[in-house]
Structure 1
Amino acid sequence: MKDKITEHSIRLFEKQGFSETSIQDIVDSLGVTKGTFYYYFSSKEELLMDIHLGYINGLLNQQEKILNDKATSSREKLNDIVTMLITDIKTKGSAAKIFFTEMKNLSEERIELIKSKRDQFRFNLEELLNQGVKNGEFRSDLKTAIVTFGILGVANWSYFWFNPAGNVSDREVAEIFVEMILQGIQTTLIVNK
């Protein structure tokens, strides 16, 4: 039931906004009582925090698996991370939108926890770029901190416009993004024939 409450809440928050969605709206959408809600969550803010943690912890876990693969190059890892962010839209696009738009409704303490996890994702990506510079895969003059923000901006904004059921697949979007990024940072350009 906790997962159902979360799923329905994500849909309602995406459609109506966090502030405009009441606990009564959530339980009505499920056909349960407020008691059911309060069995799993002490407040609507706790539910929002649970959504945020589920989203960012999932990304960090996937990123860690990619980064720990010793058999892949920095370029391949970058490709895998961007692909993961784009393909994730199919299953977690609504949660991502909530993550990016509703953080303001969390307490300062909770916001700081989410920001620290979000920053860890960014630092991990920046370190990957630094490693690619060190091993000669990426340009030596690369401003890795700025490029990291650029990559995350491109990937994260796609949650607001990309339609996984549209004419271009998630894999195709990821390939376009990775090609665009790599053409700007790798030491030698790859020319597609």
Structure 2
Amino acid sequence: MKQKIMETGIHLFHQNGFKSTSVQDIVQEMGVTKGTFYYYFSSKEELLKDIHLSYIEEIVIQQEVILKNNSYDFTKKLYEIIFMLINNIQSKGPSARIFTRENRHLNEKHVEEIKEKRAQFRRNTQKLVEEGINQGVIKKEFRADILTLGILGMTNWSYYWFNPDGEVPVEKVVEIFLDMVLNGISNPEKVSNSI
């Protein structure tokens, strides 16, 4: 039942927004009583927190599986992480959008729990970027922390514009992002190094 409440919350928060969805809306959609809701969640905010935690915990697990795959080199690991984040827009679209859009409605205590999981994902990504620098795949003069935030910012922002059913498939978007990270966007024949 708890999972069903979370699924209904995800559906309604995605469709109507967190603020416009009440506990009554959730139980009415499910055909249960408010008592059923409050048996599993103390408030609508706690439900939102659990939706956030469930989403971030799952992507941290997926990320760690990628990072531990010894058959992947640095580039393949980075590709797979970017692919996973963007592909989640299609496979877990409503949860992904709620995760990015509705976090402002979480109270400070709940935000801290989610921040730690987000930080874990960022640290894991930064460790990979540091490996790329150490291997010489990425320029040594680049800061791993800034590159990491750039990569995550680029991929996370795609939740606002990427249409999984649009003309550009997820694989192509990932290839473009990876090429931008590893090779930049300038044509060396046309751009001078005057910066």
Per the TM superposition, whether the score is higher than 0.5 is: yes
Displacement of 1:106 in angstroms is 1.9
Which 5+ residue runs of structure 1 have no aligned equivalent? 186-193
What is the identity, as a one-letter code, of the residue corresponding to 1:163? N
Map of 1:167 onto structure 2: 167
Contact in 1 for aligned 2:88/2:96 (Cα 8 Å) = no
Measured in 1, the distance between the counterparts of 2:78 and 2:142 equals 15
Indicate the residue corresponding to 1:25 in structure 2.
25
Question: 1:106, 1:31 → 2: CA distance?
Answer: 26
Match of 2:52 in 1: 52
Match of 1:182 in 2: 182
TM-score (norm 1): 0.89
TM-score, normalised on structure 2? 0.88
Question: CA RMSD for the aligned pairs?
Answer: 1.6
How far is the alpha carbon of 1:84 from its aligned partner? 0.7
* Mapped contact 1:86–1:171 kept (Cα < 8 A): no
Structure 1, residues 110-130: CA drift from partner, whole Å, max 9, x if none?
111111110111111111111
Please say if residues 85 and 155 of structure 1, whose CA atoms lie closer than 8 Å, have aligned partners that are also in contact: yes
In structure 2, the residue matched to 1:90 is 90
Distance in 1 between residues matched to 2:55 and 2:30, nearest whole Å: 22
Amino acid at match of 2:108: E
Query: Aligned letter for 1:99?
Result: F
Q: Please tell me whether residue 123 in structure 1 is matched to residue 123 in structure 2.
A: yes
Q: What secondary structure, in the 3-state scheme, does the structure 1 residue paired with 2:32 have?
A: coil
Report sequence identity in percent: 52
Cα distance in 2 for partners of 1:57, 1:170 equals 22
The residue that corresponds to 2:112 in the other structure is 112
Give the equivalent residue in structure 2 for 1:188: none
Question: Contact 2:86/2:170 (CA < 8 Å) preserved in 1?
Answer: yes
Query: Quick one: distance in 2 between partners of 1:30 and 1:13?
Result: 14
Shift of 1:158: 1.0
Deviation at residue 11 of structure 1 after TM alignment: 2.1
Contact 1:132 1:138 in 2 (8 A): yes
Shift in Å at residue 108 of structure 1? 1.2
Provide the rounded CA distance (Å) in 1 between the counterparts of 2:51 and 2:87.
19
Residues of 2 paired with 1:76 and 1:29: CA distance?
Answer: 43
Residues in 2 aligned to 1:91 and 1:28: alpha-carbon distance in whole angstroms: 26
